[in-house]
């Protein structure tokens, strides 16, 4: 049995690359299991509707606290550009 935490704050992988699709939702599901209160998490804005719908199924309310732009620098050989701006949502989940 895991200990329950009051608050979870995380920046999960976005899960958009082949081989890790959906991993952001696995992180979010783990946070729901580990938290007895609020969860704060960063996710690509393009996944907002899916995240909100899924959180409702889990019995959680989900609100977007901020819309941000992440500047992701070239870090790996497969990156083609020097940097890319990604639209990101800071979301808060809490049990309904």
Tell which CATH architecture fits domain 5-95.
3-Layer(aba) Sandwich (3.40)
For the record, the structure tokens of 40 come out as 């704060």
Domain boundaries, the chain: 5-95
pLDDT of residue 27: 93
pLDDT of residue 88: 96
pLDDT of residue 1: 59
Per-residue pLDDT of the chain (96 residues; tens, 9 = 90+): 567 899 999 998 887 777 888 889 999 999 999 999 999 999 999 999 999 999 999 999 999 999 999 998 888 888 889 999 999 999 999 998
pLDDT of residue 44: 93
């Amino acid at each position: 049995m895991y200990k329950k935490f009051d608050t979870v704050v995380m920046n999960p992988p976005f899960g958009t690359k082949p081989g890790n699709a959906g991993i952001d939702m696995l992180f979010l599901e783990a946070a729901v299991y580990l938290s007895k209160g609020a969860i704060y998490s960063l996710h690509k804005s393009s996944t907002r509707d899916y995240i909100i719908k899924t959180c409702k199924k889990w019995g959680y309310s989900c609100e977007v606290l901020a819309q941000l732009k992440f500047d992701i620098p070239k870090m790996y050989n497969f990156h083609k550009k020097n940097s890319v701006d990604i639209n990101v949502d800071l979301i808060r989940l809490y049990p309904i």
